[in-house]
Amino acid sequence: MLKYKIFEIPEGHSEKTVELDSEEFDLGEVSLVQGNLHIEFYRTPHFTQAKFNIDATIELVCDRSLDAFEYKVNKDYEVLFKADEVEESAGEKGAVRNYDLASRQIDLEQDVRDTILLNLPTKKLHPRFLDEDGNPKEILNEQFGDIPEEDEETTDPRWDALKELKK
């Protein structure tokens, strides 16, 4: 779905917008509600640069209540595809990849999938469990039954006898 033949990308700057489809784009245990991918290509004879912006809505399941809720992801990422043999690397803002020389194409699908999944929260909480700053609200601690109140400290009489021996 996100594979582009190198010769089909025009030299210089070009742009493409793709609507992500939940049936074609598998995110594993989370599901894509809707998503748009805006790609800016810059191609030279030596490399192809693909900068993309993902604007997606993901359906998550709350860890606390098991209620489904929607979470928005908006992230930029950059991938540089080189014709020369380079050591592939990936970071928070971008990656360096080799061309697929056999098919002469570049594949952005894994980078798009990783960008979405790495920007999901570790603790998936429904928005009703978050305060206005996005931090988890405290759960009410309810206790059932009477709690005996200790008015006086009671000590073991054997302990008192030991204290008397020490004097």
- Span 96-148, pLDDT tens digits: 888 877 778 888 988 998 999 898 988 888 878 777 777 777 766 666 666 66
Q: What is the pLDDT of residue 155?
A: 78
Q: What is the pLDDT of residue 142?
A: 61
Whose structure tokens read 């050591």? 87
Q: Which of 125-145 are b and which e, b meaning 16 or more Cβ less than 10 Å from the residue's Cβ?
A: bbeebeeeeeeeeeeeeeeee
- Which of 19, 46, 17, 48 has its CA nearest to residue 34? 19
Under 8 Å CB-to-CB from 127, ≥6 apart: which residues?
Answer: 69
